Structure formats: structure tokens, C-alpha cells
């Protein structure tokens, strides 16, 4: 029998001073988590119950698609990560043991699992294969924040699919989509499955599972059936309001005016009629052999790779009412980049704040965003206090073109305006292709005895993020309101009365009847005031609260409160037998979200 008088549930009246996210505030106040250091958290008993219930849902859905559970180590040889070029990832913890061996603390397990498959899989008969595990991940997170949402250590479920060909990978990917959809639904989350960037994982394509809420650190672009992370979203831009065209650029004296707002106001044109210059320094890549991958990019290709051989400047141009999307820019450039320094800009283009594309032919590559359509624009003049009016792309400067802007609300996808929502990323799935199997030589013999490369996918989900997202989505002014599938307790009994009194005896009998019927029950039998007990019950957020006090005994019924929305239900007869009590609670339980 679980009694709060003997249970570690250190509820707090005040949230931590640095807490901003609702989940951070409430999970600490409800006694679910406790901070150890920056980005490091302990899960206390009630919080760990939530985590484990989410894990079990995930495990059941993975088993349902034929995945096999295993366990791989967090501590790994650095050499595995050199093979794929990912040793260069800044967030990867790197260390050396007493013998001088280089090691890493893993943030994902692609390298280890692929090394096993390369050794163990020989024939087409061994494929397809799906392996998964729950394991601690370590990440040298530069800015831990928001409680358990962005931490340096966390547990994830990672699964890895291995197939004979691209068609098989697509099938495994679809199996995981169905499994992940069911996980989200069973955990009670509102979610979007959105197209996303492959990022440090590499590979061919990816999707993220996003739980919409104001605390989310990602933005999702939505339009009808279209859903994508803003990092990769594309859309038809709202038309620019351009002035009458000119036969040639005209110089305009713009003393000290360096921002889009200042120039557009001074010249009397809308921001969309300006071309905003964003100079970046781009790594020049040099091919290297397999043995030289220590300095390679995180996304280096298999069996060899690339490393930086210096920097070059690229001048990126977007409309004045748009913003450069750095993720899309790096994909367009096929390389990492950074904002150019003032010295680099001054020496190769012109004075910062007044730079533009005219006159740079042969000196600096110009990359023009696809939303910049034909017409005349205002640009910097590459002289201090000078802008040019009437600059026409193609006539006055040559360029390469790519989609490098961040979409805006009101842009169109298939004629439908985009809306943008903030969301928490709780899971992600990737079609890795040959990204990891080629470096490790993971191959198999097909039916005709020919050696073929193994195709791979990876699929992650964070139970801690699922828990935090549920808190964010359903909390109210009184506290947490858990979806019933992941609540730490199904039923919270509040016993109001002295120890040994009739109220306590009735609460104990109710507790035992429900526990025997399979419900997970917590009983608040502490010697504190009723107000604090009821406040803690609201804060902890179990779906069903049953209150047993003097008034309930006099009425012959337990007071019933459904936590979501604070709805009261018809009472449960105190004198009923165990079967009748259990049936009455089951009937209520079936109606709960």
C-alpha cells in the first residue's frame, strides 16, 4: 500500500527562481525531479514512475514491429567515431583513460550498433533486422535549460533498422512511423510529424515528432497536410511591393543608415523592395583519406571524407522583409559557414552596413534567395553612406540561386497560408542510407552471392521530453494534469481525518479494493490540513481524485474529482463491496483522457 506519509514526494510552494518553462516549474514543485547541477537531474520516485510508464509504452510498440531489445555502452572508443567523422562534433564528450586511450561518452549509438552488424550479418537471410535499446546519453550541451527539456544527460530509446536495399529501408521507416504515431497517441500527446533536417546524423531524409506548446524551442510550419520544421520549410513567399524599374542603378546618399528599417523609411520604399546582404565565411573542403578523418566534418561521407582547407566569402541576398535560414544555407552551400567578420567584409566587399552585389563579379560568389523575383531593388553600394536604387538581378550582377530564407506566416503551400507554432521535439526518425554502413564495411551476400551494402535507418524518442511535453500541454493553474496512460498514479485518495479514525479506515479499505483491481493508487494519509492535501493532489495531477472525510461518511459516498477540467462525478458508495467499488472506478476511468 503506497502511503504519502512514507513516500518521497517533496512538494514545493514556489518554483525555482530560474525556471521559465511550465514543465520545469511544476515538475520540481510536484516533487518529480531534483537538480544536481547545470543540465543534470535526478528523477525522484513519482517522476521515475512517469518515465518508466512512458518507456513501457515505447517498448510495447517497438516489440510489436518485431524489434529486438539490447543494450550498448555509453563509454566507447573514440576510434569508432573517427571512422564516421563524427569525432569533430562539439557536443560530444571526449576523454582519455589512465592508459592514454581516447574515449567518448556517446550521445547516439550508430557507430557501435553498425560495428556489431558489420561483424555479425553475413547473408540476405539475416535481414531485415531492427535493434533497439534504452540508454543514457551524454551531451556537452552549451546552454542547458527548461528543466528536463534540454539537459546534458538523459535517457533515450534508439532503434536501428538494417535492410537489403533502399526499398527495404523505406518499409522499415514506415513501420517506425506507425509505431511512433501509436506511441504519441497512447501517451496522450497532441503532436505533428514534420519534415526536418538530417543535422549531425547525416543521411537522406528525416522527420521529427513535435508536441505543440508555448515552451517549445522549435517552430513548425503548418499548411493543410503540409508540416515541416521551420529549419527546412519551403513556401511561396508573399509578393514583394517593388518600385518602378530603372534602366540602371542610381546612387543614393544614405548617411549612417545601415538597417533595413532605416533605409526603407528614408527612401520611401517597403522592406520587400530591399535586398539584405548577409556575408558568410564558408569552409573550403579538401578531400582526405580514410586515415585522416580526425579533422573531417561531422557529416563526412563514408570511407574517406573532407576537411577544411581555408575559408571563402559568399554574399547571401534575401529580401529585406525576410531572414536567412542558416540550416538551409549550409545545405545549399554543402558546407559549414559562419557570419563573416568586419575585417573580412571590409577587405573583400566594402564597409559593413553598406554592402551589396554590384561590382563584385569574380571576387565574391553571390547566392540569391529563390523568393527574390525579377525586378529592381535597393542594395548597398559598397561605399560608406551609399545605397543603390534600381538594382536588377541578372542585369547588374550574376548569381547562383537557392532557397535560403526562413518561411513567414502567410506564405503559401499549395495555395494554403502557413501558420507557425512553437513545439517540443520529442522524437526523430532518419533514413541514413549508407551513411554509417559504408565506413564500417557492413555488407551482406545476396541470393546470387554478390556483396551488397546494408541500408540503415535510426529512430529516437526521449521519455523525459514526452513527460515534459505532457505537462506543458495539459497543466492548469492548479498544477499538472497527466494523461492517464503515463500518470505516476491512477487514483489519488485523500484521507481527511485522524489516524485510526473511521475516515482513515474507509480510505484504507478503498485503497486495498482498487489496488487489488489493478489500479496504481497513492493514499495521502499525512497528518496535515485538508487544504494542503487537496493542493498537493492537484499539483501531482493523477487523473482521478477520491476524497474520504467526515462529510463523505455522512453522505455514504466518496467525493470524486476528475483532474482534467476539475469535473466532479457522482459519488461512489462507501459501503459497497470490493467488486462494486472497482467496477464504479473502472466506469469513471474509461471516460478519462
Q: What is the pLDDT of residue 298?
A: 34
Averaged over 109-118, what is the pLDDT?
98
Q: What is the pLDDT of residue 164?
A: 97
Is the per-residue pLDDT at 236 higher than 90? yes
Is the per-residue pLDDT at 206 higher than 50? yes
Of the pLDDT bands very low, low, confident and very high (cuts 50, 70, 90), residue 294 is very low
Interacting residues of 142 by C-beta distance below 8 A, sequence separation 6+: 91
Q: What is the pLDDT of residue 196?
A: 83
Alpha-carbon distance 465 to 155, whole Å?
10
Interacting residues of 458 by C-beta distance below 8 A, sequence separation 6+: 108, 110, 158, 159, 160, 161, 201, 429, 430, 432
Q: What is the pLDDT of residue 286?
A: 61
Of the pLDDT bands very low, low, confident and very high (cuts 50, 70, 90), residue 409 is very high
Alpha-carbon distance 211 to 228, whole Å?
13
Averaged over 367-386, what is the pLDDT?
95
Q: What is the pLDDT of residue 315?
A: 96
Measured CA distances, 459 to 80, 201, 208, 427, 581 (Å): 20, 11, 10, 8, 43
Residue 517 backbone dihedrals phi, psi, to 5 degrees: -85, 0
The more confidently predicted of residues 72 and 335 is: 72
**Secondary structure element (H or E) that encloses residue 215, with its range:** none
Residue written as cell 550582377? 397
Is the per-residue pLDDT at 525 higher than 80? yes
Closest CA to 108 of 217, 215, 198: 198
Strands 33-37 and 40-43, how do they pair? antiparallel
Is the per-residue pLDDT at 255 higher than 70? yes
Residues 360 and 315: beta-carbon distance below 8 Å: yes
Of the pLDDT bands very low, low, confident and very high (cuts 50, 70, 90), residue 499 is confident
DSSP secondary structure letter of residue 518: T
Task: Report pLDDT digits (tens) over 143-196.
Answer: 998 999 999 999 999 999 999 999 999 999 999 999 999 999 999 999 999 988
- In SS3 terms, 374-391 reads as CCCEEEECCCCCEEEEEE
Averaged over 218-235, what is the pLDDT?
93
Residues 412 and 429: beta-carbon distance below 8 Å: no
Is the per-residue pLDDT at 246 higher than 60? yes
Cα-Cα-Cα-Cα torsion 348, 350, 352, 353, nearest 10 degrees, comes to: -140
Q: What is the pLDDT of residue 304?
A: 44
Beta bridge partners of 462: none
| Mean of the per-residue pLDDT values of the chain | 91
Task: Report pLDDT digits (tens) over 309-366.
Answer: 578 899 999 999 999 999 999 989 988 889 999 999 999 999 999 999 999 988 899 9
Task: Report pLDDT digits (tens) over 539-560.
Answer: 999 999 999 988 888 888 889 9
What stretches of 160-308 show up as alpha helix (H) in DSSP?
166-186, 260-267
Is the per-residue pLDDT at 296 higher than 90? no
Quote the percentage of the chain above a pLDDT of 70: 95
Q: What is the pLDDT of residue 288?
A: 46
Q: What is the pLDDT of residue 297?
A: 31
Alpha-carbon distance 62 to 19, whole Å?
34
Interacting residues of 305 by C-beta distance below 8 A, sequence separation 6+: 85, 287, 288, 290, 292, 293, 296, 297
Longest Cα separation, the chain: 96
Is the per-residue pLDDT at 118 higher than 80? yes
Residue written as cell 478519462? 592
The more confidently predicted of residues 204 and 140 is: 140
Residue 375's Cβ-count burial label (10 Å; 0-12, 13-18, 19+) is middle
- The two counts, helices (H) then strands (E), for the chain are 13, 31
Q: What is the pLDDT of residue 199?
A: 62
The more confidently predicted of residues 332 and 297 is: 332
What b/e string do you get for 329-345 counting C-beta neighbours within 10 Å, with b at 16 or more? Answer: bbbbbebbbeebeeebb
Structural domains of the chain in order of their starting residue, each with its CATH number: 17-186+433-471 (3.30.930.10), 250-402 (3.90.960.10), 491-589 (3.40.50.800)
Q: What is the pLDDT of residue 301?
A: 38
Q: What is the pLDDT of residue 308?
A: 53
DSSP secondary structure letter of residue 340: P
Q: What is the pLDDT of residue 574?
A: 77
Alpha-carbon distance 199 to 196, whole Å?
9
Question: Radius of gyration (Cα) for the chain, nearest Å?
Answer: 29
Task: Report pLDDT digits (tens) over 19-36.
Answer: 989 999 999 999 999 999
Q: What is the pLDDT of residue 303?
A: 40
Closest CA to 396 of 383, 380, 411: 380
Please state whether the peptide bond connecting residue 163 to the residue before it is cis, i.e. omega within 30 degrees of 0: no
- Nine cell digits for residue 426: 520529442
Is the per-residue pLDDT at 305 higher than 80? no
Residues 62 and 463: beta-carbon distance below 8 Å: no
Of the pLDDT bands very low, low, confident and very high (cuts 50, 70, 90), residue 290 is very low
In the sheet that holds 377-380, the strands lie side by side as 250-253, 386-391, 377-380
Amino acid at each position: 500500500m503506497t502511503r504519502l506519509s512514507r513516500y518521497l514526494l517533496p512538494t514545493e510552494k514556489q518554483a525555482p527562481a530560474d525556471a521559465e518553462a511550465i514543465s520545469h516549474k511544476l515538475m520540481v514543485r510536484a516533487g518529480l525531479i531534483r537538480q544536481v547541477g547545470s543540465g543534470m537531474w535526478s528523477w525522484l520516485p513519482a517522476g521515475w514512475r512517469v518515465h518508466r510508464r512512458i518507456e513501457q509504452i515505447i517498448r510495447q510498440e517497438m516489440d510489436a514491429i518485431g524489434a529486438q531489445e539490447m543494450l550498448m555502452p555509453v563509454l566507447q572508443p573514440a576510434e569508432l567515431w573517427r571512422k564516421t567523422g563524427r569525432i569533430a562534433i562539439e557536443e560530444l564528450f571526449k576523454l582519455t583513460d589512465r592508459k592514454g586511450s581516447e574515449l567518448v561518452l556517446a550521445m547516439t549509438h550508430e557507430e557501435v550498433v553498425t560495428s556489431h552488424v558489420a561483424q555479425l550479418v553475413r547473408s540476405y537471410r539475416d535481414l531485415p533486422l531492427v535493434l533497439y535499446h534504452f540508454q543514457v546519453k551524454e551531451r556537452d550541451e552549451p546552454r542547458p535549460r527548461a528543466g528536463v527539456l534540454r539537459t546534458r544527460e538523459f535517457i533515450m530509446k534508439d532503434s536501428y533498422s538494417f535492410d537489403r536495399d533502399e526499398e527495404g529501408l523505406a518499409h522499415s521507416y514506415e513501420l517506425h512511423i506507425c509505431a511512433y504515431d501509436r506511441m504519441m497517441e497512447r501517451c496522450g500527446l497532441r503532436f505533428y510529424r514534420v519534415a526536418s533536417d538530417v543535422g549531425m546524423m547525416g543521411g537522406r531524409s528525416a522527420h521529427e515528432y513535435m508536441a505543440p506548446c508555448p515552451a517549445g524551442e522549435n517552430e513548425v510550419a503548418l499548411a493543410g497536410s503540409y508540416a515541416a520544421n521551420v529549419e527546412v520549410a519551403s513556401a511561396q513567399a508573399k509578393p514583394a511591393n517593388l518600385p518602378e524599374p530603372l534602366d540602371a542603378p542610381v546612387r543614393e546618399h544614405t548617411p549612417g543608415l545601415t538597417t533595413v528599417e532605416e533605409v526603407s523609411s528614408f527612401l520611401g520604399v517597403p522592406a520587400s523592395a530591399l535586398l539584405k546582404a548577409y556575408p558568410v565565411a564558408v569552409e573550403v573542403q579538401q578531400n582526405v583519406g580514410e586515415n585522416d578523418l580526425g579533422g573531417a566534418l561531422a557529416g563526412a561521407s563514408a570511407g574517406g571524407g573532407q576537411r577544411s582547407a581555408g575559408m571563402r566569402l559568399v554574399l547571401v541576398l534575401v529580401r529585406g522583409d525576410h531572414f536567412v535560414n542558416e540550416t538551409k544555407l549550409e545545405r545549399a552551400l554543402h558546407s559549414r559557414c559562419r557570419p563573416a567578420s568586419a575585417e573580412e567584409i571590409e577587405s573583400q566587399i566594402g564597409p559593413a552596413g553598406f554592402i551589396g552585389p554590384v561590382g563584385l563579379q569574380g571576387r565574391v560568389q553571390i547566392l540569391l534567395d529563390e523568393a527574390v523575383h525579377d525586378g529592381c531593388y535597393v542594395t548597398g553600394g559598397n561605399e560608406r553612406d551609399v545605397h543603390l536604387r534600381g538594382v536588377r538581378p541578372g542585369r547588374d550582377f550574376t548569381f547562383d540561386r537557392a532557397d535560403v530564407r526562413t518561411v513567414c506566416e502567410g506564405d503559401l503551400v499549395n495555395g494554403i497560408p502557413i501558420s507557425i507554432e512553437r513545439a517540443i521535439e520529442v522524437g526523430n526518425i532518419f533514413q541514413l542510407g549508407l551513411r554509417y554502413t559504408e565506413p564500417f564495411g557492413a555488407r551482406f551476400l545476396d541470393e546470387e552471392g554478390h556483396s551488397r551494402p546494408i541500408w540503415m535507418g535510426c529512430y529516437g524518442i526521449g521519455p523525459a521530453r514526452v513527460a515534459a511535453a505532457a505537462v506543458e500541454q495539459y497543466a492548469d493553474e492548479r498544477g499538472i494534469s497527466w494523461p492517464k496512460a503515463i500518470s505516476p498514479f491512477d487514483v489519488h485518495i485523500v484521507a481527511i481525518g485522524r489516524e485510526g479514525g473511521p475516515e482513515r479506515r474507509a480510505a484504507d479499505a478503498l485503497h486495498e479494493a482498487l489496488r487489488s483491481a489493478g489500479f496504481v493508487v497513492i493514499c495521502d494519509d499525512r497528518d496535515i490540513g485538508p487544504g494542503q492535501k487537496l493542493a498537493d493532489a492537484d499539483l501531482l495531477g493523477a487523473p482521478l481524485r477520491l476524497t474520504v472525510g467526515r462529510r463523505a461518511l455522512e453522505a455514504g459516498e466518496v467525493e470524486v474529482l476528475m483532474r482534467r477540467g476539475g469535473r466532479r462525478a457522482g459519488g461512489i458508495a462507501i459501503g459497497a463491496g470490493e467488486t462494486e467499488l472497482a467496477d464504479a472506478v473502472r466506469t469513471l476511468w474509461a471516460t478519462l483522457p
